[in-house]
Amino acid sequence: MPRIPQPPLPKVLQPKPKKPAEPNGQVQQYPAPLDAGISVVDWLDERTALSPGLRWLMWRKVPRGVNWAYTLGSATLFAFLNQAVTGVFLAMYYRPDVAGGAYESVRNINDNVFLGQLVHAMHKWGASVMIILIFLHMGRVFFYGAYKYPRELTWVIGVVLLILTLAMGFTGYLLPFDQRSYWATVVGVNINAGGPFIGPFLSDFLLGGADFGATTLSRFYAIHMLLIPGAMAALIGGHLYLVTKLGISAPPYIKADPNHDGDHAPDEAEV
């Protein structure tokens, strides 16, 4: 097994090899803080048996040729977490009141609340960042052919997540309740109405009536912060389970090494 060359440390600073265990079989003594941490983890692991699962999730074999494009999925996940955290705190100040209170509460967030403008902007711009990252991630998966057998279901869940993210963008756009929000939503709902047979009823459901009414805003708010995020969190869990279960595919331009089975780099496969 090849070893990483040691840095040129002076002799006194180089780590000493461990002493062999005492012949009487005594366990090694750790310093008190470390010992406390170990016993807490042991206590939890004895009752949950989580450590094999965590090891399965975190220490995975990765094919040769992975590159920065493989981080786009994690980047999208971080964008989602950013939206979730900033959204929860925006909800503490936001008021879905259609008779002017919604606009006033957003104005209050922007003008009066400490860091309100920052958190609002993080949520607003984070939404665009998330959609951009999703499409980059999707492009990586598509052009690397990573959606092929056995990862079709991962792709399908990802497409559902894309649609839900776009639905988040649609419902979230109304919430500031300014002129742009209002008319964009009117246009968006009427686009929905253009679908034959079910379109008119879908629009009725979205508006909560025949016209933009008293419940339309709170309906969009509930869909935006409860219905879709719950579904997305569950689907992200499934997506990540499949990624872990099936492993990461190698880039298509990496040729299989005839001296090794599989597409693992010989070094990494043995670590």
Partner 1 sequence: MPGAFEGETVTRRRMMNLVANGAGAVAVAAFTLPALGFALAPIFKRQQWTWQPVGHPSDFTEANYVTKVINITPGIGEAGNSVAYIRKRDPAIDKEPEDQWNHFVALSDRCMHLGCPVRYVQAAERFICPCHGGVYDFRGMVAGGPPVRPLDRFYTRVNENTGLVELGARYSVNNELQRFSPRFPGEPIDGIGQFLYPAQFDTGKPPH
Q: Footprint of partner 1 on this chain (CB under 8 A)?
A: 98-100, 177, 182-183, 186-187, 189-191, 193-194, 196-197, 199-201, 203-205, 207-215
Q: How far is the CB of 229 from partner 1 (least distance, A)?
A: 17
CB of 224 to partner 1, least distance (A): 15
Please check whether residue 91 is in contact with residue 225, taking contact to mean a CB–CB distance below 8 angstroms: yes
CA 120 centroid distance within chain = 20
Q: How is the chain split among helix, strand and coil, in percent rounded to 5?
A: 65, 0, 35
Smaller CB distance to partner 1: residue 43 or 205?
A: 205
DSSP assignment, residue 271?
-
Cα 228 from Cα 220, distance rounded (Å): 11
| CA–CA gap between residue 183 and residue 84 (Å, rounded) | 26
Whether 126 contacts 83, CB under 8 Å: yes
Looking at the Cβ atoms of 76 and 216, the one nearer to partner 1 is: 216
Residues 6+ apart with CB under 8 A from 183: none
CB of 123 to partner 1, least distance (A): 23
81 vs 191, which CB is nearer to partner 1?
191
Class of residue 253 by CB neighbours under 10 A (exposed 0-12, middle 13-18, buried 19+): exposed
Q: Provide, rounded to whole angstroms, the least separation between the CB of residue 147 and partner 1.
A: 34
State which residue, 143 or 205, has the beta carbon closest to partner 1.
205
What's the min distance (Å) between Cβ of 228 and partner 1?
A: 14
Nearer to partner 1, 159 or 226 (CB): 226
* Shortest separation between residue 225's beta carbon and partner 1, angstroms: 15
DSSP for 229-244, written as a single string: HHHHHHHHHHHHHHHH
Quickly count: other Cβ atoms within 10 Å of residue 25's Cβ. 6
Write down the least CB distance from residue 186 to partner 1, Å. Answer: 5
CB-based contact 62:268 (threshold 8 Å): yes
**E strands present in 85-204:** none
Q: Which among 265, 239, 229, 233 has a CA at the least distance from the CA of 123? A: 229
Q: Which is nearer to partner 1, 64 or 224 (CB)?
A: 224
Residue closer to partner 1, measured from CB, 125 or 201: 201
